[in-house]
Amino acid sequence: MHPDTPRPFQITPGGALRGRITVPGDKSISHRAVMFGSLAVGESRVEGLLEGEDVLATAAAMQAMGATVKRDEDGVWRIHGVGVGGLLQPDRALEMGNSGTSTRLLMGLVASHPITATFTGDASLSRRPMARVIEPLSRMGADITASPGGRMPLMVRGLCPAVPIAYHLPVASAQVKSAVLLAGLNTPGITRVIEPVPTRDHSERMLRGFGAELTVEPGHYGAVISLTGEAELKPQHIVVPGDPSSAAFWTVAALVVPGSDLSIANVLLNPTRAGIYQALRMMGGDITVENEREVGGERVGDLRVRHSALTAIDVPPELAPSMIDEYPALFVAAAFAQGRTVARGAHELRVKESDRIATMATALGTAGVAVTEHEDGLTIQGTGGEPLPGGGRIATQLDHRIAMSMAVASLYATRPIMIDDVRPIATSYPDFLHTMTRLGASPTWLNA
């Protein structure tokens, strides 16, 4: 858990980024590995699990509902599941910290079990909208009492047996899709989700891997995902690939710091997560994939990234679902490009760990970048490869990706950029500053 007070820091750059690094396991896959392992009967083993606070919140919740989730000395996580339908009544509130994924997916699980669970979270999570999952889960029969505005803390009273629904996703959200599918696991009959715009498909891939009957077919309004309920999940051995969202920070860093030539090993290449790499290549980024292979049903490869003269683009809005978490990093790349980058159609950024449109507009403005804020994105005037002016103090708003993006921006800035709080980084990437140090930069701690 976080210490109570913010911990400000700044980065002293160390020049070109060179060599070979790895990034931690993918966050979305890690959450799902813990949840599905906890619902299988028998022992699942997970290698390369992301040991960030968000995933640990999921693990603690699954333990509170009866599963055994343990890390062995060899770093492998061993999970003994309770079986679909076997979740137990937790004897205290489920503390979700900063994690929207834990909250929304677990609400789905609880919704079709005969248990009641209260979900609490930090200040950032307590501001985020939960109505998007409350609505379909209520239709399946769950009784959900939320704080005003459909926020947390909230309580889910599951219904067993729940009612299967066919749910047309009103927002492009893998969390909403997954919440409904996870509720469908313990629901008799077929639960369907209709997805007009593709979003990350880890739930679908992994549920099939665990033995669930799940099909994806094209339909009139988009992909129709059908899950047969009262599923029996079989334990699995999962190897979690490196997180492309974490790799994006180093990719942007290597593209903008002159002289860089960096390899990032073992990165997940799933196309539903690859939008940032497409956008950076459109900007002229030299990013190649080596040693492409398949690990546990997912494509992975080693990225090689070389410093590049970036050119501004109009970011295609259709890339938004596949790079929704990477906009802060993309905005930093845009700040170094030649010309004016326009990123629109990313309204969902307003409801992430912070309002990422407003937070990044302020952060880049503070660091001397000319930024215009729109309702659904930003226009950013780049330096044309020159360092950012820097200076100022960045408000991270309890948002890990803001802290890491601005740490990357600091790697090529004339004056130091003070970042007000390091703590959120631990939610998704506890080793981030360690890797920064390995690459030659030096973090320093400042007075609060």
Among 113, 192, 200, 423, binds ligand S3P (CB under 6 A): 200
With the C-alpha atoms ordered 35, 36, 37, 42, is the resulting torsion angle positive or negative?
A: positive
248 contacts: CB under 8 Å, gap ≥ 6: 276, 277, 326, 329, 330
Contact pick of 67, 174, 255, 329 for ligand S3P (by CB under 6 A): 174
Q: Which stretch binds ligand S3P (CB under 6 A): 172-180, 255-263, 273-281, 431-439?
A: 172-180
| Amino acid, res. 111 | A
Candidate ranges 10-18, 170-178, 207-215, 234-242; the one touching ligand S3P (CB under 6 A): 170-178
Helix axes 327-335, 244-256, angle to 10 degrees: 0
Closest CA to 248 of 145, 324, 348: 324
Give the nearest distance from C-beta 96 to ligand S3P in angstroms.
13
Any contact of residue 101 with ligand S3P (CB under 6 A)? yes
Q: Give min distance, CB of 175 to ligand S3P, in A.
A: 3
Residue 195 or residue 325: which is nearer to ligand S3P going by CB? Answer: 325
User: Beta 77-82 vs 286-295: how paired, if at all?
Assistant: unpaired
Q: Does 178 bind ligand S3P (CB under 6 A)?
A: yes
Choose which of 175, 263, 341, 354 interacts with ligand S3P (CB under 6 A).
175
Min CB(174)–ligand S3P separation in Å: 4
Among 325, 326, 399, 421, binds ligand S3P (CB under 6 A): 325
CB under 6 A: which stretch of 14-22, 167-175, 232-240, 438-446 binds ligand S3P? 167-175
Among 28, 98, 112, 266, binds ligand S3P (CB under 6 A): 28
Binding of residue 187 to ligand S3P (CB under 6 A)? no
Tell me whether residue 325 or residue 420 sits nearer to ligand S3P (CB atom). 325
Q: Cα(426)–Cα(354) distance, rounded to whole angstroms?
A: 16
Q: Strand order of the sheet with strand 261-268?
A: 18-22, 261-268, 298-306, 286-295
- 324: which 2 tokens? 């929704």
Contacts with ligand S3P, 229-258, as mask; x by CB under 6 A: ------------------------------
* Nearest by Cα to 208 from 185, 179, 192: 185
Q: Which stretch binds ligand S3P (CB under 6 A): 40-48, 168-176, 272-280, 286-294?
A: 168-176
Minimum Å gap between C-beta 348 and ligand S3P is 6
User: Which residues, in sequence order, are CB contacts of 408 under 8 Å at separation 6+?
Assistant: 249, 250, 252, 253, 256, 329, 332
Rule CB under 6 A: say whether 205 interacts with ligand S3P. Answer: no
Residue from 243, 325, 421, 431 carrying the catalytic annotation: 325
Question: Which backbone phi and psi does 192 adopt, to 5 degrees?
Answer: -120, 140
> With binding defined as CB under 6 A, does residue 173 bind ligand S3P?
yes
Tokens 């492998």 appear where? 76
Q: Give the tokens for residue 348.
A: 């969902």
Crossing angle of helices 202-209 and 27-39, rounded to 10°:
40
CA dihedral sign, ordered 328, 329, 335, 337? negative
Q: Is 359 in the site for ligand S3P (CB under 6 A)?
A: no
Query: Rounded to the nearest 5°, which phi and psi values hold at 227?
Result: -120, 130
Closest approach, Cβ 50 to ligand S3P, in A, equals: 11
Rounded Cα distance between 413 and 430, Å, is 24
Count the Cβ atoms, other than its own, within 10 Å of residue 193: 26
CB of 258 to ligand S3P, least distance (A): 31
CB of 34 to ligand S3P, least distance (A): 12
320 binds ligand S3P (CB under 6 A): no
| Residue 325 appears among annotated catalytic residues | yes
Site for ligand S3P in 259-298 (CB under 6 A): none
> Which residues here bind ligand S3P, judged by CB under 6 A?
28, 101, 173-175, 178, 200, 324-325, 348
Which residues carry out catalysis?
Answer: 325
